[in-house]
A and B are shown apart, each in its own frame.
Chain A
Amino acid sequence: MILVWLIVIPFLGGLLCWQADRWSEQAPRWIALGTMLFVLVISLVLWAAGDFALPSGGETPWLLEWRTDWIPRFGIEIHLAMDGLSLILVALTGFLGALAVLCSWREIGQRIGFFHLNLLWILGGVVGVFLALDLFLFFLFWEMMLVPMYFLIALWGHSGSAGQTRIRAATRFFIYTQASGLLMLVAILALVFIHFGNTGEFSFSYEVLLKTEVPEAIAPWLMLGFFVAFAVKLPVVPFHGWLPDAHAQAPTAGSVDLAGILLKTAAYGMLRFALPLFPEESAAFAPVAMVLGLVGIVYGAVLACGQQDIKRLIAYTSISHMGFVLIAIYSGSELAIQGAVVLMVAHAFSSAGLFILSGQLYERIHTRDMRIMGGLWGRIPTLPGFTLCFVAASLGMPATANFVGEFMILFGTFPTAPVVVIIASTGLVMAAIYSLILMQRVHFGPAYRDGALAGPDWREYGMMLALLALVLLIGLYPQPLLDTTAGMSGRVVELFAGPAQSLAETAGEVR
């Protein structure tokens, strides 16, 4: 039942925020903050109480599970379950959700209640995605979080350069993700009807469909249906068109959610659904996916170097980082998959930090154009120092969480795909270049204008310190995180290696 509450609380909190608007301006903010902290606390308590040792034999891999009938006509259930991976991501959602509320404390001055309604509903949808085990329910949450995100960008966003209005960016985001989501729905339905044809029973249950035998001719297409939906959200390079605009035009809270959590739903979807449902096809598809990952790494990094808009720059670095995650997921190595989880968490922290910092800069100098920045180091106390820290984390400096993640990914992938790793390593060099460009153009160099600007207040200080502490903590001692997800990544690797091994065996016999 606690899983249901994890999803319901943000929705209820959102409604409350909307109505609280009429009491006072601050009420929605405090309610929203309280709601997200509540979610965070619940997940932390679960984490502290949980036992994440590899389950033996017939035990269920789930820490908590809750199910009830929903639409019996098609065997659809409300089936929620939590394992180590979902727990970490839910906790991350709670934490970044609270940060998103905090960072919009001063930025959002209009229609505050409705803003927090949308914000909390996005987070509720994301928590649902991380917990849903019924494919119908998963799809439902997957699509549902788009609507409030759309409103967040369209109504509270910034208008960018001419012709690039926020509504356009929001619409593009929505259409990309919704259309690709429908492809996933088609794939899900095909899978269900194949199962129906085999057994005469309708079921959308993950565990049942896992055992479905899909005809070989159709399976690659179904796998692609899932992959495209996740690839759009991750994003993988040919499907990334929505991301820079959506990021650049979203309010800070929207960017934090988008980069910190929404992109992670895609990686989660691949680990939870795309790979386990179609292990053989995914193994066959792995080289293509890895090449796409490489393209993403290089493309994101190169384009990041050429950006004028600070938020677009950070957005392109996200594409680059997610390329590493994609390579790791399809490497089939436990170490790399563990690394992907660490990098997901690390990227959530570092990109959230950078987006919040650019939001704070915007509040002070009212621009995101790096051509008219420069020399801010001398004008703003403390903030440039924080920026340096997060830039260092983003470029993968040892002792930060990003380093742990990237190192594990490259190390784990090397035995299976050395060439990929060698090319991917150039991404690290380019990460250094774009990160230093960011730092140099914004904070060093000749000052564009004179005059001191306000330093961070306690709220901004607190957010930065919390993020930085987490980045360093995971960078120095990632073991608790790794222990939590060991069970999940072990299972994925088992599934992934299964067909490959049997293929090798049959090949050996033939010889």
Chain B
Amino acid sequence: MLTAADLVTLLPLILVGTTAVVAMLAIAWQRHHAGTALIAGVGLVLALLLLPVASTGSPPLMQVDGLAQMASTLILLSALVTVILSHHYLSGYIGPREEFYLLVLCATAGALGLVASDHLAMLFISLELLSMPLYGMLAYSFRAERSLEAGIKYLLLSAAATAFLLFGMALIYARTGHLDLAGISGALADAPDAWMLAGAALMIVGLGFKLSVVPFHLWTPDVYQGGPAPATIFLATVSKLAVFVVLLRLVLAAPVFESDWLQAVITVLALLTMLGGNLLALFQSNLKRLLGYSSIAHFGYLLVAIAVGNALAVETTGVYLLTYLVTTLAAFGVVTLLSSPFGGEDADGLPLYRGLFWRRPYLAAVMTVSFLSLAGIPLTAGFIGKFYVIALGVADGRWWLVGGVVAGSAIGLYYYLRVMVTLYLPEPGMRRRDVTNDWGSRLGGITLVTLAIVILVFGIYPAPMIDWVQDLSVSVASISGAWRG
């Protein structure tokens, strides 16, 4: 039963849900773009402030532990950045603008539920709550052909992924008679049989679609390119983060994921993903597609944590997701800002960025820092993440995966450098797409500069970040250790 303590634990989720309702009522009462954005922003900030108050606990169907809290913090922060950037972006949009925030809030609530779910039913419901608003967000500027295409493509492939996921869950339920993770892992004292393995594999496929793991990545470039920039940001950060965390939770909790056969599958998927993502990005000249492929590669690196699946893996996941998040927000943020206010098509062609440094030095510096971080160059946050992944692989003796990370990073450098140097080349009378002159004093601009500074601070002095992640991941590791022991 739901107790008062459970309600306190769920406060952030409840608050985000309430904000969505308030925003909806406000829209019904009077349309006001800035006002709705403000409501959404305030709701998210309040939820963020309440996170430390809301203690850990396990309400029905859920498990709010350190991992969930860490993920919730990151989700709320990313959603907040999305809202801030959307405001500037949507101010040029003809048509209803306010509903976008409604969709963002609903999806955020789904993500918050997903990372804390301890029951397959909860997992499914919150995954759908996360995905459904995303269809709307991706197809939001539906007058642009690509946006509509992106929305429909994501809808269809998501539906297919959901089918896989459900089938996998059904198989597992058929074998164990349990839907809660503790029950599943308890019912599996002896070695898993073929049905269990098939169920687990199907679930990995379903979640792998959302994470765009190669070979389930085909939707990613088109959707990234077609969706409006703020929707793409949300997809690349919140959605991927939440799905990854739940995958990690499954792996930690259910021993069936530990079987040799599935381990081999995950290792191969990880190798394919990190190499495939990087290779496909090599000759992209569309920045949003390029970032899409790059995010594929990054989740390939992260799959090393899934393959290893021990205490250090949880910490690695936390650190890597945190660094990936700030980096991706900054990189997509610049694209969004250059595309703001909305004018039919996003500024995503690489030639548009030629010589940006000589027009907008600080904006180009933000972009440079974020790309250095994506490439994992020292003194940026991305390096700490990559350091963790390699350390994890080395500590566990997964030499194939380590080799894959090294090779992937080397290939990745090529396209990251290409983008970076483009920013600094002189531009002989190129067609310009520029930010508005007051970008630096607007909230979006300030956010981006802050993100770049955060990337550098995490890179230069990562100790506080590591401590924070370590504190929060201790509880998870002990739980999974107890189950396994």
Contact = CB atoms under 8 A, between A and B. Distances in A.
Given A73-B467, A174-B413, A175-B410, A155 B421 contact: yes
Contacts of B467: 73
Given A147-B372, A186-B394, A73 B409 contact: no
A170 B418 CA distance: 10
B379 A144 contact: yes
Given A143-B377, A183-B406, A189-B391, A154 B421 contact: yes
Contacts of A170: 417, 421
Nearest to A180: B410
A179 B377 CA distance: 11
Nearest to B409: A182
A459 B29 CA distance: 76
A139 interface: yes
A482 to B, nearest CB: 35
Given A70-B463, A71-B466, A155-B421, A186 B378 contact: no
A420 interface: no
A171 B470 contact: no
Interface residues of B, number: 31
Contact of A167 (B390, B407, B421): B421
Contacts of B391: 74, 189, 192-193
B377 A147 contact: yes
Contact of A186 (B379, B402, B414, B426): B402
Contacts of B407: 179
B394 A140 contact: no
A200 interface: no
B459 to A, nearest CB: 9
A180 to B, nearest CB: 9
Interface in B359-402: 372, 377-379, 383, 387, 390-391, 394-395, 402
A186 B406 CA distance: 9
Contacts, number: 82
Nearest to A189: B394
A182 to B, nearest CB: 4
A151 B394 contact: no
A155 B417 CA distance: 12
A73 B394 contact: no
A71 B378 contact: no
Interface string A399-420: 0000000000000000000000
B466 A151 contact: no
Nearest to A69: B463
B462 A71 contact: yes
A206 B413 CA distance: 29
A58 interface: no
B377 A73 contact: no
A185 interface: yes
Given A70-B463, A151-B424, A182-B406, A189 B390 contact: yes
B417 A72 contact: no
Given A73-B467, A183-B406, A171 B417 contact: yes
Contact of A174 (B402, B417, B466): B417
A139 B406 contact: no
A144 B377 CA distance: 7
A290 to B, nearest CB: 28
B470 A73 contact: yes
A178 interface: yes
Given A144-B377, A147-B372, A178-B410, A73 B417 contact: no
Given A70-B463, A73-B470, A193-B395, A175 B414 contact: yes
Nearest to B426: A110
A197 B405 CA distance: 23
Contact of B414 (A171, A182, A190): A171
A316 interface: no
A505 B91 CA distance: 82
Contacts of B418: 167, 171
Residue among B378, B383, B409, B421 having the largest count of chain A Cβ atoms under 10 Å? B378
A150 interface: yes
A179 B378 contact: no
B457 interface: no
Interface in A136-193: 139-141, 143-144, 146-147, 150-151, 154-155, 167, 170-171, 174-175, 178-179, 182-183, 185-186, 189-190, 192-193
B417 A150 contact: yes
Interface in A86-135: 110-111, 114
B352 to A, nearest CB: 18
Interface in B41-72: none
Given A179-B407, A179-B409, 8 more contacts: A71-B466, A110-B426, A150-B421, A151-B421, A155-B424, A171-B413, A186-B394, A186-B402
20 contacts: A72-B463, A143-B377, A143-B378, A150-B417, A151-B424, A155-B424, A170-B417, A174-B417, A175-B413, A175-B414, A178-B377, A178-B409, A178-B410, A179-B410, A182-B410, A183-B406, A185-B390, A186-B390, A186-B394, A193-B391
